[in-house]
Amino acid sequence: MQSKSKFIVVDHYAKRAGKHQDIRFRKPNSKIWDSFAVRKGVPLEAGPKVLAVKTHDHSEEEALFIGVINTGYGAGKLVKFDDGACTIEKYSTAHMVVRFNGRKIKGLYHFVSTKVTKMKGTKITEYFLFKGKVQ
C-alpha cells in the first residue's frame, strides 16, 4: 500500500506541555490528519528512537495552522519547522511507515506502537519514532 500525502512539522511552544514538535500527516484516502507530539523533536538522522504521543485527529485547517493558540491545553505559539510531500508506505495502528520529502525531514520514518493508556477517559497511544529501515 502506498498513498501520496503531505506533512507538516511545527515547533510548538505550549504553555502547559512545554516546547516540543508536532508532526502531522494526512491519513491515507482521507481529509483527516494524524498528529503526534514529539518532546525531543523529530530525529533528522538514523539511530535515535524518540517518543511520539498520538494526539487528536486534525482537520486540514487545524493541521496547517501557524500562529498563536490563545486558550486550552495547546495554548501557545506554533512555528513551521518543515513541510512537504510524503508517501505513506504502511498504515496501521501498530506500525506506520512514512517517507517524508521535506527540506529538513527526508527519508523513511517508522512509528511503532509501544503502549496504549487512558488518561481522563481518553485513550493515549505512544509510539517510538525513528528514521531508517528496520533491520
What are 63-120's pLDDT values in tens digits? 988 888 887 777 778 899 999 999 999 999 999 999 999 999 999 999 999 988 877 7
Kindly report, residue by residue over 10-53, the tens digit of the pLDDT.
998 887 777 899 999 999 889 999 999 999 999 999 999 999 99
- In total, how many domains does the chain have? 1
The parent domain of residue 78 ranges over 3-131
Grid coordinates standing for 123? Answer: 485513550
Q: Read off the pTM.
A: 0.89
Secondary structure of residue 49 in the 3-state scheme:
coil
CA distance 6 to 92: 18
